[in-house]
Structure 1
Amino acid sequence: MIILLFAIRDNITYMKLYYYKSPTGNFGDDLNAWLWEELLPGYFKYENGIIFSGIGTIISADMPTSSKTVIFGSGVGYGYPPMNFGDNRWDVRFVRGPLSAKVLSLPANKYITDSAILVSKIEGFEPLPENERSGIIFVPHHHALHTGQWHEVCKSVGIEFIDPTQDSKYVIQKIRKSKLVLADAMHAAIIADSLRVPWIPLVTSNQINTFKWIDWTLSVKLEYSPSYIGPSSMRECLRNKFLHLYGESFYIKSLNADDSINCFYKQRDILSNKWWPIYSKIIRRCVYTAPNLLLKKIEQFSSPRWDEKYISLAKKKILDAMKRAPMLSSDDVYQSNLNKILNEVECVRKMYK
C-alpha cells in the first residue's frame, strides 16, 4: 500500500493519499498518484497525519491508523473494516456503492459511485464525441497477464490488447479514444463509463470479484451481466481451477447482490483465521506456483501446442460477446453522480484548506 496522510502546518492541512500499489503496476490504482493533485492542487504532501483514502478496494483492517481518515469513494471487498470504523476519527464523504455501504453499516446516502469518474474533469481527458473514437480494445485484469495468452487471442480476433500494468494515463487515453471497451478489469469499465465509451464486461477467471462489480454497477443503475470467457491457456486453466483453495476465487455464478454479500461474509471469516496466511501460502505453492513453473519450463524448451484449444475457445467466446449490446450508464445517472462527487470535492477543499 502507498499512503498519502494529513498534517497541519502554518494553518494548512496537508493530505497524504492511501491507495494500493501493485508491484507490477495497475492503471486503476495508479490513477490515484496524479488525479487528486490535479483536483486539489497543493493539498498533498508526504507528512504524517490525516489519511485520504481514494480510488480502490482498500477499506480494510490493513489501513494505517490516524487521528482522522477521509474516505472518498473507496470500496470494501476483501476483509473486515478497520477497528471503530465510522466513529469521529472517520470522515466518510462517500463509498463506492451500496454493497460497500451495507457491509460497513453506513446509511444509503453514504454511497455515490467510484471516484474515478472524476477523470472526466481533468484537462485532456474529457469525453470525446463518437466520431473521434475508433477501434475495439480488450483490457484484462492485471492477474490475467501472469498465465494467459490474451495477446494471441486479441490478435486472432482483430482487436487491440491493452496491458493494464502500463502507465495509467496511457491506458486511460486508449480507453478514451476507443469505440468499444471489452472489460475484464473493473476499472476499464469504470473509466469507459466515465468517459462515455460503451463497454462490455467479461470474466476471464474466477478471480474476477462479483461483489466489487455489483457494488459499482448498482451505483450507476446497471445490471452486472458479464460474458464468461474463461482461460486462454493451459496454465491459466490450471490456475483458475484451484483459486478457491487459497482464497482467491471471487466470482459468483448467480450474479446476485445478496449472494455476493453472503459470500463476502463467509470469505472474510475464512481469510481472517489466524492460520490462513500459513495454509494459503503452502497450498498456493503446491497447486499453482510449482505446477506453473514446471509447465512454463516445458513451454520454453518444447513449444507444446496445448494452448491452441484454449485460444480457439476464448476467441469464439469473445466474438460472441462482441455481438451483445454494449453497456453505458444513462447520461442522467452519470451527470447526477458526477455533480454529487464534485460537490464533495468542494467540501474537502473547504474543510481541509
Structure 2
Amino acid sequence: MSGEDQQPQRTPRNMQGLLNFCTAITAREDAPNNTSNPSVLDPERRQFLENVLSSMTTNVAKVMAAHLQTLASSTDLHEQMSECEEEEKALDELIELVQDVDNANDLVKMGGFPVLLSCLDSPHALVLELSCEVLAVVCQNNPKCQDELLKHHGVLDKLLNLLDNNASPVTVKTKALFAVSCLIRGHEAATAAFDERGGFSYLMRAMQLGEEKVFIKAIFLIAALLDEYKPAVAQLTSMGYSDLLVEYLCSGYLNGQPTCGVSAQRTSQTACCTSDQCREHCCSALLKLCSVSEEVKHKLAANDALCEALKCRFDSIKNRDEVQEELQYILALLVQLKKHQATPDVADDVACR
C-alpha cells in the first residue's frame, strides 16, 4: 500500500462530503487493487447511497424548534406534582444538539434563551439540572452566545440562587455552577456582573457545602478568575480565601489517622472535601494565589502549621504514583513559602523519582 493510501480520510463536513467518503470506502472494499478514480461508481449504487444518507439526516433546526415549543407550551414545568418526562427528554436532546457551535448559535437566534430561563423557575430538579447544562454548553467558549445570554437580566441571579439554595440537590448546584462558569469565563462584562452580585461570596460558600463536585468546580472557577480578572486577587484575599484553603490542607487527619500533631478541627464539610483530588486542587489553588499575591505569600510563609501539614502530607503520599501532581504542587508551595531549610529530604526525594 502506498504512503498516499495510508493517509487518514478527512472528516466529512456536509452531505456531499459524506457521500464522497462512503463512495470511496465502498469502491475500495469492492476493488482493493483498483487504482482508478474511486468516485466512479455504478449509478445504481450511488443512488442507493444517496437514499440511505438522506434518510439518516434530519433538519436539526426544526428539531430544536420543536423542543423549544414543547418547553414553552408546557403546563407541567411549573407544577410541583406533575410529570415532566417529555420536557426532560426535550432538554436532554438539546444538550446533545448544541454541542455543535452552529446549532448553539441557531438556538439563540430562534429565541431559546427566554424559554430556558423560564425553565430555571421549575420546581423539578431534573428540569433545573438539564436547563443549566443546556445554557452552559451553548455559552461555553462562545462569546456571541455569552453576549446574548448576559442581555437577559436576572440570569446570573437565577443561577447563583440555585447554587446557594439549600433546597437545591447537589446535581442542580453542580450544573448551576457549570453554567455560571461558562457564562463568565473569558467574558469581561459577564465577570464584572458576577462580581457586582457578590459572586465570589457564592463561590466561597459553595466550597463549604461539603460536596466534592461543587467544591472542585468552585476552585477551578476561582483559579481561572485569578488569571482573567484582576480585582479577584484583592476580593479573595479580603474574604479569607487563603484561610479556607489552609483549613482544608491542615485538616489534621490523613487516611483516618491524626498526623504530625496538626490540631485543626475537622468539620463534616471539611471531611467531605479532603479526598486526594480535593487536596490536589487546594494545593494548586493556594500556589496560584501565592504567585499573584505577595501579601498572601508573606502570610502563609509565617504559618508553621501549614508548612508542617504540607510536609506530612508529602511524606504520606510520596510513594503513590497516582498523586504526582499533588506532590509537585506541595513542593512548589514549600519553595514559594521559603521553607527550603525544612525540605531538603522532600526536594531530594522528588529529584530521585
Name the one with the larger strand percent: 1
Question: Taking structure 2 as the reference length, what is the TM-score of the superposition?
Answer: 0.23
Per chain length, whose mean CA-contact separation is higher, i.e. which structure has more relative contact order (CA < 8 Å, sep 6+)?
A: 1
Name the one with the larger helix percent: 2
